[in-house]
Structure 1
Amino acid sequence: MKFGATLRKNIYSPWKDKYIDYDKLKELLKEKDDDDSWTSDDETKFVDELANIQLEKVHEFRNETSQKLRDRTAACEKKLEPLAIGIKAEEEKGKDKTASSSADNGSGKPELKPGERERLLKEVLEELDSITKEVNELEKYGRLNYTAILKATKKHDKLRGRSYKLRPFINARVAERPLYTEDQSPLLYRLSAMYSFVRQSLEGKPKEALSFAESTTDSEGFISHKFWVHKDNLLEVKTIILRRLPVLVYNPQTSKIAEGSQQDPTITSIYFDNPNFSLYTDKVNRVPDAASLRLRWYGQLAERPNIFFEKKVMKDGDASEEQRFTIKDKYVQQFIEGKYHMEKSVQKMESRGGHDRREIEEFKKAVDDIQAFIKENDLQPVLRANYTRTAFQIPGDDRMRISLDTNLALVREDALDLDRPCRDPDDWHRRDIDDARMEYPFKGIRKGEKYEFPHAVLEIKVKGMRKYEWIEDLMNSHLVKEAPRFSKFVQGVAKLHEDYVNTFPFWLSEVETDIKMEPERAFEEEQQRKLKAAEDEFAVGSLFGARASPSYRPSVVSPAGSPAGGKSSWRKPSTPGRPSPLIVGENGKGDKPNDEVDSDEEGAQATTFESTPFAKSTGLTSLFPSFSTSKYSRRRQERKVKLPPGIRDPGVWIKDQGPVRVEAKVWLANQRTFIKWQHVSVLLAALSLGLYNAAGETNGVARTLAIVYTLVAVFTLIWGYGMYMYRNRLIRERSPKDFDKMFGPLVVCAGLAIALCLNFGFKYRAILNGRKEDSIVMGNASSFQEHIELLR
C-alpha cells in the first residue's frame, strides 16, 4: 500500500487538519515533470513547506497536546486529593491536635458522602479513559507524521536530489523538532497509578501503596539498558569497564589451548519476515504479543558452529517469552520448508539419556511452535546483522553483564525482488558471503545491499535491584547516548527495505547526527530528566499515601565525564532504587559463555526515574550553604523548581515512614561533642573567674577582660546545648542536612583572639604610660634638688 493511502486510512478524525499535507508536498515535487523544469524556486518552496511549515505545524501541535494531556492528568490527581490516603491521614492527625481550629479556619477537607464519592470516582475514571486514548493517538500521530516527513524527503532525493540531498538537513531539523519519541512513559505511570487507585476505591479494597522502587518480578530477572557509543569514545568506555569487569573470552576450546591473543567473536544473526514486513511493523508499533524470529551463530559458517533458532514474543509489561534450539546448517532449509522436524535430535535426546521427559517435550514444543510460526506468517530470511562483540563479565558470576558491539554491518538477505534477488530463493542464506568468508566491511557486497551502522552499541544488564555506582556514572556521562528499545533488526529494515515499509522507529533521525556530547550538556540534560522524574514520582506516590520524595537533587556526573572535575564540592555515590524497572526475561541457566543469549530483540528496557545522592559540603559551603565555587552549582541555584498544577511539596519522604533505627554510636558521638563544648565552657568560665578575682578593684582592664571571657563561656554553653538538640532532631528525622556547623567555633576563636589582642594592647599601653610617669617623677625630683641647693 502506498504511503498516501496509509496516511489517509490512519488519520484520527478530531485532528485531521493537524496532519502533514502529504498531497501538497507531492504536488510541489512535480513528480510527472522532467528534471529540467525543476528550478531553484521550486526547491525553495518545497524545502520551506516541508521543513518550516509542515514540520513546525506538527511539532507545535504535538507539544501543545502533550502539555494538555499532562494538565488534564494533574487535574485528575487534584480531584482525587480528598480521597488520597496520605492527605486524609494528615488531616486526621491535625484534627486530633486541634479539631475545632481546623474546622474554623477551613484548612481541613470535608469528607465526601458515599454517593458523591462514587460519582467523583466514575467521573475521574471516564476522564482517564479519554486521556489514555488520546495518549495512544498522540503516539500514533507522531509516528505517522514522522514517517511522512521521511517519505517525502526520500521522494525528493530520488526525483530531485541530483544536486542537493535533503535527507541530512531534515534529519537535523527533526532532531531539533522531534515528532516521535519515547517520552510518554512517565505520564503512563501516573495514569496507571490513578487507574489502580480509582478501581480499588470503587471496589472497596484497601489501597496498596504503589512503589516504583520495587520490582514486580522475581530477583532473577535482568534490568537492561542500551546505549550508542561514538567511535571516538570507544576506548574510554572500554577502559572504564575494564577497571571493574574482565573481558569474557569466547572460545570453544579448553583453557589450556586458548590463546590470550584471541580476538573478540563475530556474531551473525539472520532475521525473518514476510514480504509485507508484518513482524517489523508490529515491533515498531509495539503491538502486544509481537514476535521475532532469527538464526544466530558465532564465527564463520564454514567452521560449522552451533546455529541457534530463536523466537521471542513480547508480552504485557515488556516481559518476553523465548523459545530456542540448536540446528545444523544442512537442516535449516528443510526445516523452513517443513520437511524436517528435528527427528534426529529428538532421537538422540531419548536414546542417550541425560534428559528428562520434560526437557524433551519442551524441545518438541519449541520445534513445532517455530515451524508453525514460519508457515502461518510466510516467513523468509530478509536481513543479516554482523558485528563484533566484546563481552565483560566476571566468570561464573552473571549478576552483571556488559556487551559492546562494534563494526555493526546490516546486509540484505531477502529474495523479494525476483529479478535481482540478494539471496537464492531456494537457500536460507547468502552463499556469496559465507562461502567467501567475507568480513566487515563486506566490500564485495553491491551498493544498496549493506548499511554500516555508525556507532557502537552498548548493553548493560544487571540482575536484581542492586545499584552500582560506577555503572550509574557511566550511564549518566557524556560518553554514551541512551537508545531505549534499539533493535538491529528494526534499524536494518528501516534503512535497507525503506520502500517496503510505512513506519519507522523513533531513533532513525538521530542515527546520522553527531551523538558526541559536551560534558556540560550531558550534565544539564541529566538534571532535567531527574527533575521531571521527581515530579511524576511524587504525583504517583501521593495518591497512595506513600509520600514519595522528589528524586531531584543537585549532583555532578561521574568521574567518567564530570564537567566540574575535581573542583566541585558535590559527590555522587550509588543511586538509590529506580522506580518501576522493566524486567527482561533471560534464559541464562546452564548456558556456556559462547551460548549466551544475545538480547538484541529484547524490547524490554529499563525506564529510569533517577534519584541523586546527598550533597557533601565542606569548608565555605558548610558555613554558607548557598555559596559554591562551582559554576554548575550557581547555575542550578538560579533555576527554581516549579511544581506542576496539582502537585505539592511532600513534606515527608518514603524512607521516613518506618520507625527510627539509628546506631548507638551516632547518639554517643553527638553526646561526646556536647560534653566537649561544655568542657570548653567550664575552662573559659574558670579562667574569667580567676582573672576577675586576681585583678583587684584598681585593675579595670583585667576586670573588663574577665567579663569578655565570661560572655564567651556563656555563648559556648548555649551553642553546645543548642547544637546538641539540633543534631538530635536531625538524627530523629533522618534528615539529609549537614551536621557540621562552623559558626560557633569561629565565634569562640574570634572572641578569644580579640580578648588576647585587647589584653596585649592594654598591657602595652600601660607600660608606655608607666615609663612616662617615671620620667616625670625623676624630672620633678631633679628640679626639687636643684631648688634646695639654691636655698642653701
Structure 2
Amino acid sequence: MLFGVRLQNEIYEPWKDHYINYDSLKRLLRENVVPNDKEEWSESDETRFVQALDSDLEKVYSFQTNMYNKLSDAIGEIEKQIVEVKEIDLVNLEHTIEDILESAQQLEHFSRINFTGFTKIVKKHDRLHSKYSVKPLLQVRLKALPFHSEDYSPLINRLSAVYSFLREQAPQSQSASINAKLSSYTNDSDLNYTSYKFWVHSDNLMEVKTRILRHLPILVYNNQNDSQDSVDPTLTSLYFDNSDFELYEGKLQKNDTSPSLRLKWAGKTSDEDSQIYIEKRTVDHSIAGGDERLPIKEKYIAGFINGTYHMEKTVQKMKSSHVPDYQVEGYEKSVENIQDFIRENSLQPVCRAQYTRTAFQIPGDNRVRVIMDNDILFIKEDAFDKDRPIRDPNNWHRTDIDAVSDPKKVLRKGEYSKFPYAVLEFRVQNRPGVDTADTGNSIITSSSVYRKHGKWIDELTSSHLVKEVPKFSKFIQGIASLYGEDDKLNFLPLWLSVLEEDDIRIDPKQAFEQETKKLKERAKTAAVRARAASVSSPRKGATTPAGPSSSTKKVTIMEDDSDSDDDEGRPKNRKSLKHKYSIPFLGTFGPKLDDALSEDEEVVLPPGVVKPDVLIRNTGPVKVETKVWLANERTFNKWLHITTLLSALTFTLYSSVQAAVDKSVATYVAYTLFALTLFSGIWGWSTYMSRLNYIKQRSEKHLDNPIGPLIIAVALLLILIVNFIATYKAVGEPVPLWN
C-alpha cells in the first residue's frame, strides 16, 4: 500500500486538518510529469515546495504541542484534586483517565505517522531533484520543531500514579481497558526485570566502560571453539518478515500482539560446534507474553522453514532416550506452532544483525546487568525480487558472507547499514510487589540494589556520555535503515532523525539541565503517590539479597542474557524450551549458547542456588521477646476475668427471678447473660490461640479485633434498656433514682 493511501486510512478524524498534506506536497514535486526543457525544476518550484513543507511542519508542531500541554494540564487538575483531598467522583475520574490515555495514544500515533510522511516526501524530493537537497533543511527544522521527539513517559507515569490512587479507592472498578493501555506504555509490574536503552558515541565508549568497570566486572565468555577466552563474542540475529513488513509494523506500533521470529547464533555458522536457535516471540501487551525457542542444526534449517522437515529425527531420539511424553508432545507442539507461523505469514529471512557484545555483571548476582553491543552491522537477506534476489531463495541465509571477517568489503552499496553508535542496556531486576511505574525516572526499583548500585547508575545514565533511546530495537532499526525507501514501509521509528544528526554528544551543562527537568517531572507525581499510599495499607514485598556465589567470572557464552530487543522486561510465565523440553542426550542442544542469544531471558539462579520454599525469616527456631508472649497471655486473662463477672451476674440474676417485678423478662435477661458468658469465654480462647499462631508464624496480620468487645458492650446496653423499660411499665410510675 502506498504511503499516501495508508495516511488517509490512518488519519484520526477529529484531527484530520492538522496532518501533513502529503498529497499536496507530492503534487508540488510533479513526480508524474514527464520532464522537458521547458518545464525543468526551477528555483520558484523549489521555493513553493519548501514553503509548503515548512508550513506543514509548523502546523503539525503547533497542534502536537498544544495537545500535549492540554493533556498535561488535565492530569495536573486531577493531581491537584487528589493532593488537596477533595471529594472525587471515582467513576468520572476513571472515564477521564481513559480519555486521556486514548488521546495520548492517538497523539503518539499522530507524531509517528507525520514524521514518516515528512521523511518520505523529503527523500522523494531529493531523489527527483537531486540538484536541490532538502534533507539538511528538514533536520534543522525538526530540531527547531521537535514534534517527533516528545517523550510521553512523564505523562504516562503521572497517569499511573493517579490510577494507583483510583485502584486503592475503588478496587472493584472496571479498569481493564485502562490497565491494557497503560501496559503498552509502561513496564508491567509482573516482569522480572526492566530494561533501559542508551546510545554511546565511539569517543565516549572507553570512558563509559571504565565507569562501569569500577562497579561491575566484565563477564568473560569461555568459547569452546577457541583456545582463547572470548571477552567480546560476535553474535548474529537473522530476523524474519514478509514483503509487507507486517512483523516490523506490529513491533513499531506496539500492537496488542507483536510476534517476531529470528534465527540466532554465536561466531560463524561454519564453526564445527556452531549452535543455532530459532525463536518465536509473541508479546501480548494485555497479558504476559512468552516465546518458543528450539535448537536446530544448520542442515535442517532450510527444510524446517519450508515445512518439509518437522524435526522427526530429534523427536525420535527423544522417544528412544525415554524423555517424558509431555516433553515430547510439547516439543512437537512448538515445532508445529513455529512452522504454522512461518507459513501463515509467508515469512522469510530479511535482515541480519551482527554485533560484538561486552557484558558486565557480578557472577551469581543477577540483580544488575549491563550489556554493551558495538560494531552493529545490518545486512539485507531477503529474496523479495524473484529476478534478482539478494539471497538464494533455496537457502536460508547468505553464504557469501559467512566466512568473511568484514562483510562490508564484499557487500554492495545499499545491502548493508552500519549503525554509528554502541547500544548500552541496563537491566535491573524488579523488586517483587513494586510497580515499576512507581519509581518515576529512577532506574533502580529495589532498595538493596539501590544502596549498592543506584548512585553510580543514576550518575552515568544522566550524564553527557550517553543518550537515552526508549524502546530501541535492532530489528526495527535494521528494517528501517535497509528498506526505508520501500513504499511498503509505512512507518519509521522516531529515533531516525537523531541518527541523522552530526553528533549525539551533548554538552555537560545541557545534560545537567535535562536531568533537572526529569527531577521536576518526578516531583510532580510524588505528592500523588504519597496520597495514594496514605489510603492503602503498605505493600509487602521482600527480596533476598544475592549472596556470594561459587561461580567463576569465566562463564560460557550462553550463560549471558542477551538484549531485550523489543521489550522492557521478561514475563514471569515465559515458556522456555530450555527447561520444559530439554534434550539431555544431544550435546549441541546444551546450554552453551542458550542465554547469550535470547533477547529476553528469564533470570537464572547461579549454580548450586535454588529458590527457597520458605522465607529466611520463617526458618530456624522462633525467637520472640518474652513480653510478646506475656502480652497475649495478659489479654487472655482479661477475657477470663470478664467471663467470670458475667457468669456471676448471670447466676445471681437467675436465682432472684422470683423477686423480680416481671419474671419473664428477668428470665430472658438471665439467659442472654448466660449466652454472653459462653461467648466471652469462647472469644477469649480463640483470640488467644489465633494470636499465638500469628506469633509463631511471624505473620504480618493485624492482632487487633474489636468485634468481640463490641458485641458484649452492645448486648449489655440492650439488656439494661430492656430491663429498665420492663420495670417501668410494671410499676406504672418512674422508679426513684435512689432505689
Instruction: Please give the TM-score of this superposition, normalised by the length of structure 2.
Output: 0.65
Alignment of 1:111-122 (within 5 A): 120-122=89-91
Structure 1 CA distance, aligned partners of 2:600 and 2:47? 41
Deviations 1:64-116 (A, max 9, x none): 011111222233444xx3xx5x755xxxxxxxxxxxxxxxxxxxx7xx6xxxx
Letter of the structure 2 residue corresponding to residue 34 of structure 1: P
User: How do residues 593-672 of structure 1 correspond to structure 2 at under 5 angstroms?
Assistant: 594-598=593-597, 600=599
Q: Given the alignment of the two structures, is residue 41 of structure 1 paired with residue 10 of structure 2, yes or no?
A: no
Aligned residue type for 1:388: T
Shift in Å, 1:330: 0.8
Q: Is the 8 A contact 1:293 1:312 kept in 2?
A: yes
3-state SS of 1:390 partner: strand
1:504 equivalent in structure 2? 492
Structure 2 SS opposite 1:180: helix
Deviation for aligned residue 1:154: 1.0
Kindly indicate whether the alpha-carbon contact (under 8 Å) linking 1:310 and 1:322 is maintained by their aligned counterparts in 2: yes
Residues 99-118 of structure 1: pairs in structure 2 closer than 5 A: none
Deviation at 1:409, TM superposition (A): 0.8
Aligned to 1:774: none
Alpha carbons of 1:482 and 1:205: their partners in 2 closer, same or farther (altered >3 Å)?
A: closer
Residue 216 to residue 64, structure 1, CA distance change in 2 (3 Å): closer
Alignment CA distance shift 1:170-1:601 (3 Å): farther
2:197 to 207, 226, 242: 226
User: Distance in 1 between the 2:374 and 2:318 partners?
Assistant: 37
Distance of aligned partners of 1:200 and 1:456 in 2 relative to their CA distance in 1, 3 Å threshold: closer
Separation of aligned partners in 2, 1:204 and 1:431 = 59
CA contact (8 A) 2:231 2:358 kept: no
Q: 2:218 aligns with which of 247, 266, 278?
A: 247
CA distance in 1, matches of 2:285, 2:494: 21
Q: 2:112 matched to which residue of 1? A: 143
Is contact 1:318-1:584 (8 Å) kept? no
TM-score (norm 1): 0.61
The alpha-carbon deviation at position 427 of structure 1 amounts to 1.4
Aligned-partner Cα distance in 1 for 2:150–2:326: 41
Contact 1:488–1:600 (8 Å) recurs in 2: no
CA contact (8 A) 1:175 1:510 kept: no
Superposition map of 1:313-392 within 5 A = 313-316=282-285, 320-352=289-321, 356-392=324-360
* 1:522 is aligned to 2:523: no
Distance 1:175 1:147, change over 3 A: same
What residue number does 1:445 align with? 411
* Match of residue 56 from structure 2: 54
**Cα contact 2:265–2:597 (8 A) shared by 1:** no
Contact 2:353 2:376 survives alignment (8 Å): yes
Equivalent residue for 1:473? 459
Per-residue CA distance 1:707-766 (angstroms, 9 max, x = gap)? xxxxxxxxxxxxxxxxxxxxxxxxxxxxxxxxxxxxxxxxxxxxxxxxxxxxxxxxxxxx
In 1, Cα distance between the equivalents of 2:174 and 2:71? 29
CA offset at residue 438 of structure 1? Answer: 2.0
For residue 323 of structure 1, what is the amino acid of its counterpart?
Answer: E
Q: Secondary structure at the match of 1:302?
A: coil
* Partners of 1:473 and 1:382 in 2: CA distance: 39
Which of 418, 422, 426 is the aligned partner of 1:456?
422
Are 2:414 and 1:411 aligned?
Answer: no
Q: Measured at CA, do residues 179 and 441 of structure 1 come closer, stay the same or move farther in structure 2, by a change above 3 Å? A: farther
Partner of 2:71: 69
Question: Which of 113, 134, 155 is the equivalent residue of 2:103?
Answer: 134
Q: 2:246 aligns with which of 278, 282, 286?
A: 278
Amino acid at match of 1:454: P
Q: For residue 413 of structure 1, report the CA deviation from its aligned partner.
A: 0.6
CA distance in structure 1 between the aligned counterparts of 2:173 and 2:257, rounded to whole angstroms: 31
C-alpha distance 463-125 of structure 1, shift in aligned 2 (>3 A): closer
Distance in 2, Cα, partners of 1:190 & 1:243: 35
Helix, strand or coil for the counterpart of 1:370?
helix
Question: Is the partner of 1:335 in helix, strand or coil?
Answer: helix
Change (3 A) 1:176 1:593: farther
Q: 1:458 to 1:358 in 2, by over 3 A?
A: farther
Give the aligned residue type for 1:66.
Y
Shift in Å, 1:275: 1.0
Q: CA shift at 1:158, angstroms?
A: 1.1
Shift of residue 127 of structure 1? 3.1
Structure 2 SS opposite 1:584: coil
State the AA in 2 paired with 1:363: Y
| CA displacement at 1:525 relative to structure 2 | 0.5
Letter of the 2:359 partner, please give it.
Answer: A
Following superposition, the deviation at residue 388 of structure 1 comes to 1.3
What amino acid maps onto 2:481 in structure 1?
K
Q: Does 1:171 align with 2:139?
A: yes
* 1:487-498 superposed matches below 5 A: 487-498=473-484
Distance 2:221 2:327 in 1: 26
CA positional deviation for 1:131: 2.3
User: Which residue type is aligned with residue 174 of structure 1?
Assistant: L
* 1:544 CA displacement: 5.2
Change (3 A) 1:172 1:430: farther
Q: What does residue 300 of structure 1 align with?
A: 268
- 2:214 pairs with 1:235: no
Superposition pairs of residues 693-704 of structure 1, within 5 angstroms: none
Asked whether the 8 Å contact 2:378–2:478 carries over to 1, the reply is yes
Structure 1 letter corresponding to 2:41: W
Question: What one-letter code is carried by the residue in structure 1 that aligns with 2:22?
Answer: Y
Aligned pairs (5 A) from 1:682-701: none
Mapped contact 2:352–2:379 kept (Cα < 8 A):
yes
- 1:533 matched to 2:489? The reply is no
Contact kept? 2:569, 2:600, Cα under 8 Å? no
CA contact (8 A) 1:400 1:463 kept: yes
Letter in 2 for 1:527: T
| Unaligned 5+ runs, structure 1 | 89-108, 548-580, 603-792
Letter in 1 for 2:51: D
Deviation at 1:501, TM superposition (A): 0.5
Task: Write out per-residue CA displacement over residues 232-271 of structure 1, whole angstroms, 9 at most, x where no aligned residue.
Answer: 11111122222333322233329xx8425x4622111110
The C-alpha deviation readout for 1:551-599, integer Å capped at 9, x for no partner, is xxxxxxxxxxxxxxxxxxxxxxxxxxxxxx9643487988846432446
CA distance in 1, matches of 2:151, 2:221: 38
Distance 1:221 1:309 in 2: 23
Matched residue, 1:697: none
SS at match of 2:395: coil
Following the alignment from structure 2 to structure 1, what is the Cα–Cα distance between the partners of residues 224 and 233?
13
CA contact (8 A) 1:487 1:601 kept: no
SS at match of 2:354: strand
Specify the code of the residue in structure 1 equivalent to 2:418: E
> Structure 1 77/390 Cα, relative in aligned 2: closer, same or farther at 3 Å?
closer
Query: How far apart in 1 are the matches of 2:376 and 2:189?
Result: 33
Within the alignment, does 1:7 sit opposite 2:10 as a pair? no
Once the two structures are overlaid, the 10-residue window that deviates more, 278-287 or 316-325, is 316-325
Q: Kindly provide the CA deviation profile for residues 138-172 of structure 1, in whole angstroms up to 9, marking residues without a partner as x.
A: 111111111110110111111112x3433344234
Q: Which moved more, 1:145-154 or 1:532-541?
A: 532-541
| Aligned twin of 1:610 | none
Unaligned stretches of 5+ residues in structure 2: 431-445, 537-566, 580-589, 602-739
What is the CA–CA distance in structure 1 between the aligned matches of 2:341 and 2:213, rounded to whole Å? Answer: 41
- Following the alignment from structure 2 to structure 1, what is the Cα–Cα distance between the partners of residues 231 and 363? 18
Contact 1:454 1:512 in 2 (8 A): no
Q: Which residue identity is paired with 1:179?
A: F
Q: Could you tell me how far apart the structure 2 residues matched to 1:263 and 1:130 are?
A: 50
